Amino acid sequence: MKYRWGKYVALLAAALLLMIGSGCSDMTVLDPKGPVGESQRDLIVFSIIMMLFIVAVVMVALTYILVKFRERPDRGDKDYDPDHEGNTKLEIIWTVVPLIIVTALSVPTVITIFQLEEPPESSSDKEPLVVHATAADWKWFFSYPEQDIETVNYLHIPTDRAIEFRLSSADSMASLWIPALGGQKYNMAGMETKLYLQADEAGTYQGRNSNFTGTGFAEQTFDVHAEPAEEFESWVEETQQNAPELTQSEYDKLLAPGLLEEMEFSSTHLEYVDHGEMDGSDYLIERHQEAFEELPHLEGGRGVGDE
Amino acid sequence: MSAESDLTTGPLEYRSHEDRMTILGFWIFLGAEIALFSTLFATYAVMFGRTAKAPSPAELFELPMVLIMTFLLLTSSFTCGIAIHEMRRGSLKGLLTWLAVTLLLGLGFLGFEIYEFVHYAHEGATLPSSAFWSSFFVLTGTHGLHVLLGISWASLLIVQLRRRGLTQVTSRKMFVVGLYWHFLDVIWIFIFTSVYLIGMVV
Amino acid sequence: MLDFLLNEFLVTGDPLIYGAMVSMVLVSIAIVYVLTYFKKWGYLWREWLTTVDHKKIGIMYIIAAIAMLFRGGVDALLMRTQLTLPGMEFLNSQHYNEIFTTHGTIMIIFMAMPFLIGLMNFVVPLQIGARDVAFPFLNAVSFWSFAIGALLFNLSFVIGGSPDAGWTNYAPMAGPNLNPGPNINYYLIGLQISGIGTLATGINFLATILKMRAPGMTLMRMPIFTWSSLITSLIITFAFPILTVALALMTIDRIFGSQFFTLTGDGMPMMWANLFWLWGHPEVYIVILPAFGIFSEVISTFARKQLFGYKAMVWSMVIIAGLSFVVWVHHFFTMGAGAGVNSFFSITTMLISVPTGVKIFNWLGTMYKGKIRFDTPMLWALGFIPCFVLGGVTGVMLAMAAADYQYHNTYFLVAHFHNVLIAGTVFGCFAGLTFWYPKMFGHKMNETLGKISFWFFLIGFNVCFLPMYFLGFAGMPRRTYSIEPEWMPLNVVSSVGAVLMAVGFAVFVYNIYYSFRYSPRETQGDAWDGRALEWATTTPVPFYNFATVPKVEGPEAYWLMKQKGKTTYDKNNLEPIHMPSDSGVPFIMMAFMFVAGFGLVWEWMIVAIAGLIGVLACMFIRSFDYDHGFHVSVEEIKETEEKARREEK
């Protein structure tokens, strides 16, 4: 009986390991495509090494103690000291060493925190491209004020140039996250946050809202097309020429809670409202309050709602 | 259930271990109340200036009325102190008299507060007007509600004092109500300075 | 009317919920039938519903917490099922959102806290040699307010719909603009009612521990679990009022139209996140410090050694409690508060790892030169150490704000907090329950079943949550009801782990039944060769706890008493014992509170006011109640003690 059990357990374990192995191949955060993500990756890897060291120390000490000091018939009272109540020297060591480790982690953390508030240095010769990213339940508006175009649920960015995202939300608090390029920041109604990202490699990356916003949260995703500057410029020109204008009534309609297709326009909603300013925070509510009384129930996986 | 022994001297309310414990428990409760009011004050500070389309505090706050309210409440705290003093002297009559004065002053305070709220509402500042006015009404209203609770509680005590006289239990209850009343006074001083005075200047 | 009933009042349209409704009705009928058939109504009322005995209240807390652990666990299994495969249509998004919200809320508020408070209730008065808590009546009020809050919250499942904005209930999504209706009201009112009870518990235990210790028990002679309870009570007393205010403000927003966290009227939704976490982070330590205390007791007992570095253990808890109030911003580094603010909170957060590390090493030090036995409580404590260290170090990683921008809102975070909360709190509750079980019920839990449940739970726990760290790196956001195909393999692994944990829990519960039937009964009070005073009295514990109040002459009071051959029963020095009377008022008062809460949830003001009047009436009655309890006569004490101690000799 025992053997058969063992076989199943081994099989299950092997299958699980296989799954873990195949799942690890795809870790976007550890394989970033831009300087922001890279500095965060470096910090993460550094901290993982430090932390594995601590885990190893504890595991070794725990195993040693459990093996050596377990109760066993032949041991008797050898090495048993019930009145052993402390050791000042040891206690100082295990207070000071963690303090040193915390300091070692704090220094690069603080440096990186301050760095990330500025555009990446590698492209400091160029002005950052300004993109207003506005979240609304459950879609994304990307406005390019300098180019005077706006897209919904996707965006194009040039490579090797910093992007200055100006984040805000028309309703729920969202969080703009493009894991391949770097960490996230919140989109909040009535205020504006800034997030610098940059792509060094051309490609299409997944972006999403990572902060729970209700029914359509899982579908609140977008594609980021990073491409060389010339291609980006030609996309901008094409959009300026071919896309329709975004009228206020059209924009108001798009704001209603729900899912949207990818779209593009040859003007931006910033002419009508900037949700990043305090007066912009009730813009959506004044138009769509009733829509929130009866929200749609989405069935199934991602993309189902797009149909 | 005493780990400490009971005393035969000293203030009546401190004689039994159980009563000492109750008084300590009440002090801890006041600590929690401080945390509660601190949160309300912090919220008020954050919401300050967020008046939307409603009038600003400087337009509505009036010093004379607030001064009268402050005077009423501070005096009531003083008379409450006298009431406790009378209790320590063992004079039930003195205690009841001064307690009644205290409660009347408290009622006066509440009356003015209600009048004030109604007046602001007429001027277009109500709870839903704006974040600022919401935090104003909730902060001062919570204090007012505490005063109301204190008055009701002390009224029940008056009945008990008249029925049972000054015993260890009634005097402990009275002492605790006194603590509560002084506490509300302290909170009001903070409201007076950080809400009304600052609101009138800024 | 019927239209309202079917479309708004009752939750309809989902077979899972119909199933739940039917089972709720059937269980209620079964309970009523059993109570009536065995004529147990009077027993229930006299012995449990009206009791003010800290031991019974503790046991009721624990039973309720285990029921809530079951409910939260079922939620977890439903979530894991939905997340196993991409494109699953097991739950729709709304249903999934409700389930993860109730899972989180129930596990923290209605499982972890009551479980630990239950253990505190049972153990602390015994450990300090007291006959009850400082305010037994208030203690009953605390329990019933928790029970009523939990009942109200769970009712949302079938009446009106569950809250669906996450256990953090962030504004503006949970505010009146974007989420009208009773759902969120259930969250606000349910937590408010139970939160008031928790606050009362905090005050009660502060007074109890400060004022009711047996003579000779100085602060630095207190058992470490009592220390952890003292510090926890202190955190509760100063953190819970913040929650009370936050919940009240949002309730006023939703019901009376104020503008605190709204999108209109210049409201400030982000203030909610600040207030919530100002309470929420201390809350994390409210549910972890008592668990630390339990582990300290268990490790010291089963390593058969004094606790290593007692003073350091105490001070590290004090420092953790202090730091817990100045780290709340680390829950939203991504709010854009600025580099200086984020740096400050990064560093304070990382600093917490120092006292926590000290505790870990002191536990190792306690086992060093010990004689370690591996009974089930000890297994939970030993399983805790490596798993919690993993949760701790990932916590430090999350504290590094710049890196947190990549972890935030992902499964990395989910894995981290389950690693600390399950390995810390849940293992702690299981360790504590199996450890004090003989004291509570007069028999140990079965060791074999205990070990089976431990290994299932431990392995399942790691299989379930370790893959989630990698899912975080792969970009999987938390709270999503639907996964991308590339996240599938790790999610399958994780779901397998969840099933193993469920098996472990089921075995644990079965063990309760099995031990009740078959475990040998305890004949003396000291089941594990214990060290603190709770083992000094007999099992079952008489309602007055100690016949004579023990004199404490050093740390580890009972260990010393055993060496000197003393007991807590001094036949010649008995005195009548004063005990508080039972009271039905707490139960009735909280029943009125339920009415008031239900009225507020549905915004039926008449019902709410009627309920509140009932509550005030109960307070009125209490104010005029001059019942000071009763005295237990010396004869009765003698009789009880002789009976309990006969077999010892």
Contact between B84 and B174 under an 8 Å Cβ cutoff? The reply is yes
- Predicted pLDDT at A303: 41
Q: Is the pLDDT of residue A300 over 50?
A: no
Q: How would you label C313-351 residue by residue, b for 16+ Cβ within 10 Å and e otherwise?
A: bbebbebbbebbbebbbbbbbbbbbebeebbbbbbbbbb
Measured between beta carbons, the chain C residues lying within 8 angstroms of B39 are 241-242, 245-246, 275, 278
Task: Let me know if residue B3 belongs to a domain.
Answer: no
User: How many domains does the structure of chain B reveal?
Assistant: 1
- Predicted pLDDT at C453: 97
Instruction: Please report, for residues B9, C310, C422, C429, C504, the alpha-carbon distance to residue C363 in angstroms, rounded to integers and kept in the order given.
Output: 48, 10, 19, 18, 26
Domain of B125? Answer: 12-201
Phi-psi region of C483 (alpha: psi -120 to 50; beta: other; left: phi over 0): beta
For A119, the 3-state DSSP assignment is: coil
Which phi and psi (to 5°) does residue C410 adopt? Answer: -115, 180
For A200, the 3-state DSSP assignment is: coil
Label the pairing between strands A174-178 and A203-209.
antiparallel
Q: Which of B189, B139, B157, B20 is nearest to B92 (CA)?
A: B157
Q: Is the pLDDT of residue C55 over 50?
A: yes
Measured between beta carbons, the chain B residues lying within 8 angstroms of C264 are 52
Task: Let me know if residue B6 belongs to a domain.
Answer: no
Q: Which of C551, C594, C534, C583 is nearest to C127 (CA)?
A: C534
Put simply, the answer to whether C180 touches A293 (Cβ < 8 Å) is yes
Which residues lie across from C579 on neighbouring strands? Answer: C630
Task: Let me know if residue B28 belongs to a domain.
Answer: yes
Per-residue pLDDT of chain B (202 residues; tens, 9 = 90+): 444 567 777 888 888 888 999 999 999 999 999 999 999 999 999 999 999 999 999 999 999 999 999 999 999 999 999 999 999 999 999 999 999 999 999 999 999 999 999 999 999 999 999 999 999 999 999 999 999 999 999 999 999 999 999 999 999 999 999 999 999 999 999 999 999 999 998 7
Mean pLDDT score, C262-270: 95
Cα–Cα distance between C645 and C649 in angstroms, integer?
Answer: 7
Largest Cα–Cα distance in chain C? Answer: 76
Nearest-neighbour CA in chain C from B102: distance (Å):
20
Q: What is the dihedral of CA B46, B48, B52, B57, to 10 degrees?
A: 160
- Summarised one tens digit per residue, pLDDT across range C587-627 is 999 999 999 999 999 999 999 999 999 999 999 999 998 88
- Summarised one tens digit per residue, pLDDT across range A10-30 is 777 777 677 666 655 678 999
Give the tokens for residue C430. Answer: 């299981």
Give the tokens for residue C567. Answer: 């007991």
Q: Which of C511, C438, C581, C344 is nearest to C126 (CA)?
A: C438
Give the tokens for residue C320. Answer: 């953790």
- Summarised one tens digit per residue, pLDDT across range C214-249 is 999 999 999 999 999 999 999 999 999 999 999 999
CATH of the domain at B123: 1.20.120.80
Crossing angle (nearest 10°) for helices C224-256 and B131-164? 120
Q: Pick the more confident residue, C429 or C555.
A: C429
Q: Enter the DSSP assignment of B56.
A: P
Mean pLDDT score, A173-202: 96
pLDDT band for position A3 (50/70/90)? low
For C224, the 3-state DSSP assignment is: helix
Task: Let me know if residue B4 belongs to a domain.
Answer: no
Instruction: Please report, for residues B19, B64, B120, the alpha-carbon distance to residue B60 in angstroms, rounded to integers and kept in the order given.
Output: 46, 12, 7
- Summarised one tens digit per residue, pLDDT across range A106-155 is 999 999 999 999 999 999 999 999 999 999 999 999 999 999 999 999 99
- Predicted pLDDT at C647: 57
Task: Let me know if residue B195 belongs to a domain.
Answer: yes
Q: Is the pLDDT of residue C334 over 90?
A: yes
Q: Is the pLDDT of residue C649 over 70?
A: no
Long-range contacts of C245-249 (CB under 8 A, 24+ apart): C245/B36, C245/B39, C245/B40, C245/B43, C245/C275, C246/B39, C246/C272, C246/C275, C246/C276, C246/C279, C247/C188, C247/C191, C247/C192, C247/C195, C248/B138, C248/C192, C249/B43, C249/B138, C249/C275
Cα–Cα distance between A207 and A225 in angstroms, integer?
Answer: 10
- Predicted pLDDT at A305: 44
Q: What percent of chain C has pLDDT over 70?
A: 99
Instruction: Please report, for residues A263, A295, B36, the alpha-carbon distance to residue B158 in angstroms, rounded to integers and kept in the order given.
Output: 74, 55, 28
Mean pLDDT score, C340-368: 96
- Please report the residues numbered 247 through 266 in chain A whose beta carbons come closer than 8 angstroms to any beta carbon of chain C: none
Give the tokens for residue C479. Answer: 């709270």
- What is the model's pTM? 0.95
Put simply, the answer to whether C87 touches A293 (Cβ < 8 Å) is no
Q: Please, what is the average pLDDT of chain C?
A: 94
- String of DSSP letters for B101-129: HHHHHHHHHHHHHHHHHHHHHHTT--TTT
- Predicted pLDDT at C529: 93
- Summarised one tens digit per residue, pLDDT across range A72-117 is 888 888 889 888 888 899 999 999 999 999 999 999 999 999 999 9
- Predicted pLDDT at A24: 59
Put simply, the answer to whether B43 touches C620 (Cβ < 8 Å) is no
- Predicted pLDDT at C627: 84
Task: Let me know if residue B5 belongs to a domain.
Answer: no
Give the tokens for residue A124. Answer: 């400091």
- Predicted pLDDT at C236: 97
How many other C-beta atoms lie within 10 A of the C-beta of residue A245? 11
Which residues lie across from A152 on neighbouring strands? Answer: A141, A263
Q: Pick the more confident residue, C525 or C167.
A: C167
Tokens 């500095």 correspond to A39
Q: Is the pLDDT of residue C354 over 80?
A: yes
Give the tokens for residue B165. Answer: 């006289």
pLDDT band for position C648 (50/70/90)? low
Q: Pick the more confident residue, C365 or A84.
A: C365
Task: Let me know if residue B1 belongs to a domain.
Answer: no
Give the tokens for residue C15. Answer: 């077979």
- Summarised one tens digit per residue, pLDDT across range B80-134 is 999 999 999 999 999 999 999 999 999 999 999 999 999 999 999 999 999 999 9
Task: Let me know if residue B112 belongs to a domain.
Answer: yes
- Predicted pLDDT at A20: 64
- Predicted pLDDT at A296: 56
Q: Is the pLDDT of residue C255 over 50?
A: yes
Pick from C373, C393, C414, C486 the residue to mutate for testing the A interface (most A CBs within 10 Å). C393
Label the pairing between strands A174-178 and A163-169.
unpaired
Q: Is the pLDDT of residue C197 over 90?
A: yes
Number of B to C CB contacts under 8 A, please give it: 131
pLDDT band for position A301 (50/70/90)? very low
Cα–Cα distance between C317 and C294 in angstroms, integer?
Answer: 13
Q: What percent of chain C has pLDDT over 90?
A: 85
For residue C625, how far is the Cα from the chain centroid? 32
Pick from B1, B34, B170, B173 the residue to mutate for testing the C interface (most C CBs within 10 Å). B1
pLDDT band for position C279 (50/70/90)? very high
Amino acid (1-letter code) at residue C110:
F
Measured between beta carbons, the chain C residues lying within 8 angstroms of B128 are 256-259, 265
Q: Which of C642, C647, C588 is nearest to C620 (CA)?
A: C588
* B148 CB within 8 Å of a chain C CB: no
